[in-house]
């Protein structure tokens, strides 16, 4: 969990895109907007998705 948070924090700093796999099997692709203690926010077009860390399986 800490590794995922660190990786997403680095991507938020550089406004990089990330592909996140959720526990439901859904893939989310977008730009990492910000990371806090419990979740990551990703922008995808005009949408902003807030994803709790406990719902993330992997980040690419």
Which CATH number is 2-59's, of 2.30.30.100, 3.30.70.600, 2.40.37.10, 1.10.10.10? 2.30.30.100
Task: Please state the domain extents for the chain.
Answer: 2-59
Model pLDDT, residue 57: 97
Element of type H or E holding 33? strand 27-35
Tens of pLDDT, residue by residue over 7-52, are 888 888 888 889 999 999 999 999 998 899 999 999 988 999 999 9
Q: Indicate if the alpha-carbon torsion angle 47, 55, 14, 35 is positive or negative.
A: positive
What are the residue ranges of helices labelled H in 1-60?
A: 2-13
Model pLDDT, residue 2: 82
- Report d(CA 52, CA 28) in Å as an integer: 13
Phi, psi of 41 (to 5 degrees): -110, 130
């Amino acid at each position: 969990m800490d590794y995922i948070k660190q990786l997403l924090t680095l991507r938020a700093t550089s406004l990089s895109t990330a592909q996140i796999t959720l526990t439901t099997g859904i893939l989310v692709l977008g730009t990492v907007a910000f990371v806090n203690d419990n979740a990551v926010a990703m922008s995808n077009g005009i949408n902003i998705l807030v994803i709790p860390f406990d719902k993330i399986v992997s980040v690419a």
